[in-house]
Amino acid sequence: MRKIIIDTSPLIIHLIGVFNNRLVEKVSIYGTPDDELRCMERLMAQAHDIIITPYVFGELFWLARTRLNRSNDDTKKIFIRYREVMARFKESFVEKNEILDFKRMEFGPTDVSLFLTAKRLKYPILTSDSKFIGFCKTEKVDVMSFQELLF
């Protein structure tokens, strides 16, 4: 597999699956938790470089906490178990001023950081956000729909 930038929503499936695969239904995007987890496991096994941004990392913690209805301490335990997986990830840092100067602020800091990283590195983004996918395609940024990858 090639290099890929991963958005939060597909990544949360893998994080929760590593922690407890029976809980994946709580973070399932398309209502197919087993298929979604298998798809992410294949992708993670095949990818040579997986890139995230600090914004993805922050969203990942928040989603794990809120979707699983866990305390900060419980969420930290989940992240500790996921540490080995995350150690493989490379991180792309995008300055806050680059995000604030971005003209399309209907997208939050996470999406903007992914978009700017993809433009800089020329790697595709994996996301489940259809509006963001459409924007990336019109801007000629390589993007993969998690739904298309899954089905």
pLDDT tens figures, 51-106: 999 999 999 999 999 999 988 898 999 999 999 999 999 999 999 999 999 987 68
Report residue 147's pLDDT band, with 50, 70 and 90 as the boundaries.
very high
* pLDDT for 135: 95
How is residue 29 annotated by DSSP?
Answer: S
> Domain total for the chain?
1
Residues counted in the chain: 151
Averaged pLDDT score across all residues of the chain: 93
List Cβ neighbours of 104 (8 Å cut-off, separation of 6 or more). Answer: 112, 135
Here the CATH number for the domain that contains residue 23 is 3.40.50.1010
Quote the domain boundaries for residue 118.
Answer: 4-150
* pLDDT for 56: 97
Could you tell me the pTM of the whole model?
A: 0.93
List Cβ neighbours of 65 (8 Å cut-off, separation of 6 or more). Answer: 71, 72, 74, 75
Separation CA 139–CA 122 (nearest Å) = 13
Report residue 1's pLDDT band, with 50, 70 and 90 as the boundaries.
low
